[in-house]
Amino acid sequence: MINRTMQHLGEERSVIRELFEYGNMRKAVVGEENVFDFSIGNPSVPAPDFVQSEIRRLIDTVPPEKLHGYTSAPGAPEVRKAVSDYIESKFGVPMSEGFIYMTCGAAASLSIAITALCEEGDEFAVIAPFFPEYRVYAEGAGAKVVVVPSAEDFHLDFDALDRAIGGRTKAVILNSPNNPTGAVLSAEELTRLGALLERKSLEKGESIFLLADEPYRELTYGVEVPFPMKYYHDTILCYSFSKSLSLAGERIGYIAVSPFCCHAEDLFAAVCGAGRTLGYVCAPALFQRVCAASLGRSSDVGEYRKNRDLLYKALTEMGYECVPPEGAFYLFVKALGGDAVAFSERAKKYELLLVPSDSFGVKGYVRISYCVARSVIERSLPAFRKLYEEYKGIKN
């Protein structure tokens, strides 16, 4: 026999991937320029020039057997040191390379951190709308996911959190800037959350952790992203360079365990153990070094800002209701007619590929990934207008 849970996971197509494949099929039929694919969060802005030159420099100067060989499992020592120095100087929190573990992107950071923490009967609280893969990682580790609704503006609902966090909660997973809403949590929210987790940990008699999933940290539009370790001691940062440096296919990120975590050294050892269990030998060696040299740099966020401004202004002028995004590269739009799946289906008639919000744990919205060429947004606007008019016609 085989593991039926794994079989099911492998057969189940993610809604986002399904739309993406549908888009490729439609492009072959009606022409690439006539399909408006807003399904997937693949960065459209190239990696900074520096990244390309650093790749070339490393290839030209480091002997290949060294450059492409295994590194230590948690990462090359000089890379871990560069990351910990960066965190210390940028955010003003004490860090040491002994708490940095290089990973294959945020997906690996999260699955490793969850596996490191998870014991039988544990719950992980996720705040809806949430990145659908959280469920896969938590359930894969044997935990239960508890979905906590957010407030109407997609910021934290503290009453809901208070009700949801209890004796079985192992961690709360937080994602800011947020996929799919673009919301960025404020310092005030993190202060309140820190106090809540502290109280709940005392009631439980052991630590409840904060897993901060931050692949979009650098992609913001004029707002500060507070650093969660400053607000709560039992914090594990799950970082990735996929979006900030447009390196999504290279699979590179890191875990930073706060040195103030309860039994931080044991926890870090558990992170290393979880990495082993999941079969991660080390993160890609070349890109560990590329990223260590690129800390603090990011792709041109101005390009995403222009896309956001264009799309937000055009859609709201047409009559759509959207959440104004403060970060990341997604616009969360109220589904006309209220049923997100039906709305997404109807949008296909105009070759608009919009992801229904149901798989993110909320109903009634669609996610538009605006990490696309500006011309795609410009060409899509008449289609959005026709879609709106069709709904208005149906209602009248």
**Residue 284 lies near ligand PLP (rule: CB under 6 A):** no
107 binds ligand PLP (CB under 6 A): yes
SS (H, E, C) 126-155: EEECCCCHHHHHHHHCCCEEEEEECCCCCC
Structure tokens of 308?
């956001």
Residue 201 or 244 with smaller CB distance to ligand PLP:
244
| Residue 146 phi, psi (nearest 5) | -110, 120
With binding defined as CB under 6 A, does residue 253 bind ligand PLP? yes
Cβ(134)–Cβ(145) below 8 Å: yes
Judged by CB under 6 A, the number of residues near ligand PLP is 13
**By C-beta, is 179 or 246 nearer to ligand PLP?**
179
The verdict on 182 binding ligand PLP (CB under 6 A) reads no
Minimum Å gap between C-beta 42 and ligand PLP is 9
Q: Quick one: 336 or 354, whose CB is closer to ligand PLP?
A: 354
Residue 84 CA to residue 96 CA, distance in Å, equals 5
Cα separation, 163 vs 194, in Å, equals: 16
User: Which of 23, 74, 75, 105 is the binder for ligand PLP (CB under 6 A)?
Assistant: 105
Question: What is the Cα–Cα distance from 41 to 368, expressed in whole angstroms?
Answer: 9
Nearer to ligand PLP, 173 or 264 (CB): 173
Interaction of residue 215 with ligand PLP, rule CB under 6 A: yes
- 102 contributes a contact to ligand PLP by CB under 6 A: no
CA distance 71 to 288: 9
For Cα atoms 250, 253, 256, give the angle at the middle one, nearest 5 degrees. 170
Name which of 157, 218, 156 is nearest 186 in CA terms. 156
Residue 221 as a binder of ligand PLP (CB under 6 A): the answer is no
Cβ closest to ligand PLP, residue 131 vs residue 370:
131
Q: Which of residues 122-181 bind ligand PLP (CB under 6 A)?
A: 131, 175, 179
Is 327 a binder of ligand PLP (CB under 6 A)?
A: no
Q: Which residues on neighbouring strands pair with residue 255, listed in sequence order? A: 101, 238
Give residues 227-246 in contact with ligand PLP (rule: CB under 6 A). 240, 242
**Residue range at the interface with ligand PLP (CB under 6 A); choices 44-52, 101-109, 257-265, 371-379:** 101-109
Supply the minimum distance, in Å, between the C-beta of residue 303 and ligand PLP. Answer: 18
The C-alpha atoms of residue 243 and residue 298 are separated, in whole angstroms, by 9
Among 54, 123, 189, 213, binds ligand PLP (CB under 6 A): 213
CA-CA distances (angstroms) from residue 393 to 43, 212, 387, 389? 36, 44, 10, 6
CB of 367 to ligand PLP, least distance (A): 10
Q: Which residues bind ligand PLP (CB under 6 A)?
A: 41, 105-107, 131, 175, 179, 213, 215, 240, 242, 248, 253
